[in-house]
Structure 1
């Protein structure tokens, strides 16, 4: 009897695992903090802690075999929404995420998956 077991490879594994996520977070925040249209939202942010939270969230969102224990998107971004976070800011952040993936030479079809995941957070991030 020939039995074949197929296990789907997660986006997390396809993009290179935790090393890739760590590199992406570093590059991503360099872009975000250099962007005057959005960097004001991070003026009082502990960026070491923020990078740690973002790494955990992205790893989880991309299918890493770990638990995410941080705040949900709506609660995490509510203070920023109160300070004016809007769709133009969301688009700026998404653009930096896409540029980060391109800089890391992630395949276009995987970038599309990343952007679909990011886009799926929009309503919660913006409190809609």
Structure 2
């Protein structure tokens, strides 16, 4: 009998240090994108980065439970008040893809991570 369990995507990506590094680079990219900057006006970015680390840890299979709001609730105000659209989601996903590529994450892991990210789009925009 095999007692070995499959490693989570979180572990295969490199765990806490890798997710922390990715989130830092990711938000630096987002804040330089003129189409996305307005969504972060007035946001405590240190708190936002902590939330993103916790969220990515959770969705990629790391330890601990995510304590934040669900995706639809977390983005509702941005949709209603700031005009967040699916095109913006696609830009954000593109920045994550570029971040993972910059960090030299192997292509199969990037593909798996982006697959997880893609599942968020219909949830955020109420298409589930």
What TM-score, normalized to structure 2? 0.95
Does the CA-based 8 Å contact 1:57-1:68 persist in structure 2? Answer: yes
Q: Which residue of 1 aligns with 2:12?
A: 14
CA offsets 1:77-100 (integer angstroms, 9 cap, x no match): 001111210011011000000000
* Distance in 2 of aligned mates of 1:39 and 1:124: 22
Alpha-carbon shift at residue 66 of structure 1 (Å): 0.8
Q: Which residue of 2 aligns with 1:40?
A: 38
Across the aligned residues of Structure 1 and Structure 2, the Cα RMSD in angstroms comes to 0.8
CA offsets 1:17-51 (integer angstroms, 9 cap, x no match): 00000000000000000000111100011101000
What stretches of structure 2 of length at least 5 have no aligned partner? Answer: none
* Distance in 2 of aligned mates of 1:88 and 1:68: 26
Q: Which runs of 4+ in 1 moved over 6 A?
A: none
Alpha-carbon shift at residue 104 of structure 1 (Å): 0.7
- Tell me which of 64, 72, 76 is aligned to 2:62: 64
What stretches of structure 1 of length at least 5 have no aligned partner? Answer: none
Alignment size in residue pairs: 126
Q: Which residue of 2 aligns with 1:95?
A: 94
Task: Say whether 1:23 aligns with 2:10.
Answer: no
* Distance in 1 of aligned mates of 2:122 and 2:84: 12
Q: Which residue of 1 aligns with 2:110?
A: 111
Does the CA-based 8 Å contact 1:85-1:126 persist in structure 2? Answer: no
* Distance in 2 of aligned mates of 1:54 and 1:81: 19
What TM-score, normalized to structure 1? 0.95
